[in-house]
Structure formats: C-alpha cells, structure tokens
Amino acid sequence: MKESRVILVYFHLVLLKKVFCDLPTCNRIPLGIKIDPLPPDNRFELEIEGHPEKYIPEREYRVRLYSRSNDSTFIAFTIAAKEDSVYNEKNPRRPIPLKQGKIYIETSDGVNSQECDNTVMQSDVTPKRDVNVTWLAPPKGNRCVTLYALVAIKDGVWYNYDGPLIKKICEDDRQKVDLQPPENDDCNVCEEARYQLTLENLWLHNTHPLTFPENASARYGDLVGAVHSKEYSLWKYGGYASEGLQTLAEQGNTTGVEGEIQNKVSLFYDWVR
C-alpha cells in the first residue's frame, strides 16, 4: 500500500515537469538579440492614430511604428501592450492585473506571435519604414494601458522600449453620449435616402423659468441646413469654428455660414431653410 502511494507521487512530478518544459518561452527582444540595446534616441516612434489623449473602451485604434528620419529603417520589431494593475488587499505584494485589450495585425507586414501573448512581430527581416497594427482597447474599468515597441535596425542592433517607443494611455470615462463617434470614411451612398428632421422648441418660459433669458436678443438661431460632400465640414472636432459659425453661435445669424458653404459650391448640393 505504502509503495503504491510513492509511485503515484513520482508520476505526478514527472507530469508537471513535462508541462513546464513544453511551455514556449516568450522573448520579446527582436530576433532574440543578446547584446544590450542602443541608448534611446528619437529615430523611431510608436504612434496611436489621431493622437487620442484617452482611449474609449472597446474601440479599435490603429497603432503605427515608424521611422522619423528618411534614412532610418528597421528590420525587426515587437509591438505589445502592458496592462495596468490594482492593489490586492489579500496580498499587497501581488497587484491584480487588469486587461490590456488586444494587439494584432491583419496584413502580412507582421505576424501575431505564437509565443508571446498579444504581441505582433515582423514577418520577415526586409528593411521597413513603418508598420501598422490594430489595438482593440479593453472594456471599461481597465484604467491605463501602455503600448510599446522594440526595434532592431540590423542584426545585433536594437532599441528597447523607451521615449517615443512607449505610449501610456488611460481610459476615457466620459459617458458615451458625450463622445465624438468615430468618423465613417467609407460612406458610399448607393441608394436614395430620405431624412425628415423635426425641430421642436422646448425652451419656453414655463419649462425653463429659472434660466430663461429675459434679454430678447437671446433666442433660437435661424434654422439652416445643407447637403454637402464629405470634403466640406462645418466644424472639426478639436478645431476652431469658422467666423460664420461663430456668428451663428453668438447671434443666431446664419448669413455668414451660408456664405461660407456657398463659397465651396462644388461641395454643396442643396439647402434646407
């Protein structure tokens, strides 16, 4: 009886050892170079398209690693993301890791690493000037994520993640309705569409007695609408208002805006007044 128990323990150990040995090891250093990296300089940069200050949970972002100078190329790279962590009350020495979302590539310019989780690496060692990957931001409540890149410019010569090769971005915790929706650049109209807009005036003395302006020049602006191509934009998120738009906002006078739109007549299709 005693003997069989000993044998059982032995098998168990052998099995554990095998499992560990089969685990692939994750080495994120490009080409597994064993020499120390070059000191950081600003030759390469990792950039999140649109330079967002914060990320919106579960939105996809394009992340680009590129050479800032015309004559620098790289042959190998690693792009990955590191998650944030929160304090662990049960074991303060082991913070609880949050999620970092997903980093992946859909073109043949790189491969999704088999050994390292959530990591994109080069598919070949031809010199390149840039590579684009996708980052799917994690769900709500995952705080900040650090996106980073390691770059090899030739065999044995590489940069560690540092300076412009690292971007930390935190969650945008504004409500969804307060956020600019993503722009649809691929809007191909192939059928007639009809829209009906109704403007209902709810700003009345009885509905808003406390804030209703007594000054008669405070009023609703005149209504103006135009159908235009996507080359024209009335305003840009984060940009400055045109003079006409400023006048419309401050005085409710549409004359300026109408003029501005009419000047771009090739982009303009129809009026609604």
Helical H segments across the chain, by residue range: 2-22, 243-251, 255-263
In the complex with ligand NAG, the residue whose CB is nearer, 242 or 253, is: 253
In the complex with ligand NAG, the residue whose CB is nearer, 50 or 181, is: 50
* DSSP-assigned letter for residue 175: -
At 105, list the tokens: 């590539």
d(CA 225, CA 261) in angstroms, rounded, equals 10
How many residues sit in the footprint of ligand NAG (CB under 6 A)?
Answer: 12
Beta-carbon contacts of 30 under 8 Å, excluding residues fewer than 6 positions away, are 76, 77, 78, 121, 122, 150, 151, 152, 158
In the complex with ligand NAG, the residue whose CB is nearer, 144 or 253, is: 253
DSSP codes, 37-81: PBPP-SSEEEEETT--SEEPTT-EEEEEEEESSTT--BSEEEEEE
Segment contacting ligand NAG by CB under 6 A, of 52-60, 62-70, 75-83, 183-191: 62-70
Single out the residue of 37, 40, 59, 64 in contact with ligand NAG (rule: CB under 6 A).
Answer: 64
Neighbours of 169 (CB within 10 A): 19
Q: Does 91 bind ligand NAG (CB under 6 A)?
A: no
User: Is the backbone of residue 143 left (phi > 0), alpha (psi -120 to 50) or beta?
Assistant: left
Angle, alpha carbons 82-87-90 (nearest 5°):
125
In the complex with ligand NAG, the residue whose CB is nearer, 131 or 149, is: 131
In the complex with ligand NAG, the residue whose CB is nearer, 198 or 217, is: 217
Q: Does 73 bind ligand NAG (CB under 6 A)?
A: no
Q: Does 260 bind ligand NAG (CB under 6 A)?
A: no
Identify residues 208-227 at the interface with ligand NAG (CB under 6 A): 215, 217
Instruction: Show the site string, 97-136: x = touches ligand NAG by CB under 6 A, - = not.
Output: ------------x--------------------xxx----
Site residues (vs ligand NAG, CB under 6 A): 49, 64, 69-70, 109, 130-132, 215, 217, 253, 255
